[in-house]
Amino acid sequence: MRKALIAVIILVCLPGCTFNFPLFPGPGPLQEAQVDGSGKAKVLLIEISGVINSQEKEGFRPAPSMIASIKEQLTRAAKDESIKAIVLRINTPGGTVTASDIIYHELKTFKAARKIPIVASIMDLGTSGGYYIAAAADAVLAHPSSVTGSIGVIMLTVNAKGLLEKIGVEATAVTSGPRKDMGSPFRTMTAEERAIFQGLIDSFYQRFLTIVQEGRSNLQMEQIKRLADGRIYTGEQAKAAGLVDEIGYLDDAVALAKKKAGLTEARVVTYQRPGEYSNNVYSRLLTPGGLAALVDLDVTSFVRGGTPQFMYLWMP
């Protein structure tokens, strides 16, 4: 009788209850996976792929932002004395100015603390912010078919004033000053406002040039300026111009990293989340279902809401 009463109470209470069981749990801690080589020493492979930004990945499989992920990997690597070198596998058109600079800063800070070599390997794309990040490396390799360069800054904004006039909509902003809504998509930019934006772009551009000069001691500033008009280069053209050190593949980058670290043998390792899988140096991290994480090239996210952003990005 008592059990029956309890069962009735449970049935009465259940309709008012909700149960929260996450179908897609958040990312777990990093785990080390060996993808090549042998020996006690390790070469860590870090992937920099997709548009560089500080946005966390949402959806079925949420993930930390690129900045947070790279910081997490570097923090773990800093505690592992057996890691003797890092290879950056770069495949990105670039991204926001600040995100690119933060990743560059984190790599430089790590290198200063651990004093181990970093080699950058440019895959399909290593343009703009991708090249900015590569400047933190001790050597930069490009594939024969790589595209790199695009040294410069871009700010994309939208002017919807004409469209709004056609459909009879007027947007009004009440501001504390005449420049408070500069860059608004609802009105035409004035010459004075364009000059202000240009000043900011010139400042970010100058920093880009300085970063390139620090990473390319073989080039004088005047040479860099001639190369940094925004154009892109093939791997061969970049090598001829002095923007990369060698033409080679990812295994060549690993071999160079080992050489710079004074190693005759080493295990190539990567960090991955529980449920992800990689079995060689070219593997993208795979989900249990076998689907690779897609490269997110949704550059329209940079102008959503009409808010302009400053970008080290090749965006033809």
| Residues recognised as catalytic | 128, 180
Tokens read off for 212:
């390139």
Tokens read off for 106:
């984190």
Tokens read off for 111:
């290198």
Position of tokens 């020493």?
41
Closest CA relative to residue 42, chosen from 243, 237, 263 = 263
Tokens read off for 135:
């400047």
Interacting residues of 308 by C-beta distance below 8 A, sequence separation 6+? 155, 156, 157, 183, 197
Residue 71 Cα distances to 82, 83, 124, angstroms: 19, 16, 24
Helix 97-114 to helix 191-215 angle, to the nearest 10 degrees?
20
